[in-house]
Amino acid sequence: AALMAGNGIVVKVSPYASWSAAGYFGAALRECLKAVGAPEDLVQIVHGYGAAGAALVSGGIDKCIFVGSPEVGKIVMETASKTLTPVVLELGGKDPFVVCDDCSASDLDRISQIALRGVFQSMGQNCAGPERFFVGSTVYEGFLSRIKPLADQLVVGASNEDVKVDCGAVTMGSLSRDRLQGLVDDAVSKGARILSQGKIPPQELVGTSFFPPTVLVDVPTTARIAQEEIFGPIMCVFAPTSSDEDAIAKANACSFGLSSCAFAASTARAKAVASRLKAGMSSVNDLEGTTYLSQSLPFGGVGESGFDKFAGPEGLRGLCLARSCCEDKLGFARTSIPPPLHYPSKGKGQDFAMGLVELFYGDGVAGKVRGIVKLIKAG
């Protein structure tokens, strides 16, 4: 969108993504620019830590789009405020996944696979991905009975040459692995149960960047994992919901609000629930990530998930310098000031102005007639 709007781009990548950005991502960008005859240096990739990002934000750019954590997003916003640089913040989320109690057995078969795909694809490292599951009481056990045997079979490992591997590594190595384990330990200490923890990685991978896919059930709202973004392969199923109202209230009791989804046998019911979820995006009877697949839709959230949009008409317009411009529709027309309003004042300007106001905005015909009379007298 930035290129289509006539901009050059500088991409500051995470230091954990420097290798892939310089190689795969950078090479792909250069080939794309070359294919359309654009200058290959129109997109620049910058590597470094926080100081490099701060220099970029404060260095005279026209706009900053930041994707990351709320903590760093606030720092970016503070830095940008010193030069009044506009920012778009996409700060992750804790998307709710609501399952209504009218779902049939076949519905649950389908929904369970969608749920697993949403949580464990890319090891849960998606900004728009389901992290909080709210399931109706009458279908709660049926949902869990489908999730557990599937999650138990998930294989963790390096997928370079093994097409049967389900889950690969997490980013940021031990930093992520230890943080995820801390969230699980805290939840269990407060009453959550581990329903499944997949297959332990091969011995040679223990202690590296691999974390077993985990399903937690009966997660209490007091647990850290109920409010902190997971960004990892952990499914959190909360206590059964008693009604749609209960599910909506619990889903909205969170500071994040990026995306969401709702499932029901009745499309109207799913739509009614989805429309009341506090989020910038929502999907009805589908995974919330589908909103990202359609680049004609704006992408962005509310609350701790940030503000403003990218993609869609809103995102494209946001990367332009929007200007208002007026000109006479008739090219030969020329604006002139009516004599009663000429400087120096002749004492009739106020009456003339009041006549104009009543002519254009007076109530009914009588009000407009009064305006015309005032204009004639003032003229």
Q: Which residues are catalytic?
A: 90, 127
> Residue 348 burial by CB count (10 A; 0-12/13-18/19+): exposed, middle or buried?
middle
DSSP secondary structure code for residue 59 in this structure: T
Place of tokens 């310098």: 321
- For helices 244-251 and 267-274, the axis angle rounded to 10 degrees is 30
CA atoms of 112 and 138, how far apart (whole Å): 15
306 membership: H or E segment, kind and range: strand 306-307
Which ranges of 65-216 would DSSP assign to H, the alpha helix? Answer: 70-81, 105-120, 140-152, 173-189
| Terminal CA-CA length for the chain | 54
**204: its two tokens:** 């040679």
- Checking DSSP bridges between strand 64-67 and strand 43-46, what pairing results, if any? unpaired
Residues 6+ away with beta carbon under 8 Å from 146: 108, 109, 112
Count Cβ atoms within 10 A of the Cβ of residue 73 and give its class: 0-12 exposed, 13-18 middle, 19 or more buried. buried
Question: Hey, which residues does 44 pair with through a beta bridge?
Answer: 10
CA 115 vs. chain centroid, Å, equals 19
Instruction: Give the CA angle between residues 276, 286, 154 to the nearest 5°.
Output: 120
Place of tokens 């992520």: 176
Q: Do the beta carbons of residue 240 and residue 137 sit within 8 Å?
A: yes
- b/e burial code for range 94-126 (CB count within 10 A of at least 16 → b): bbbbbbbbbbeeebbeebbebbbebbbbebbbb
Closest CA to 148 of 193, 215, 201: 215
Asked whether the beta carbons of 176 and 141 are under 8 A apart, the reply is no
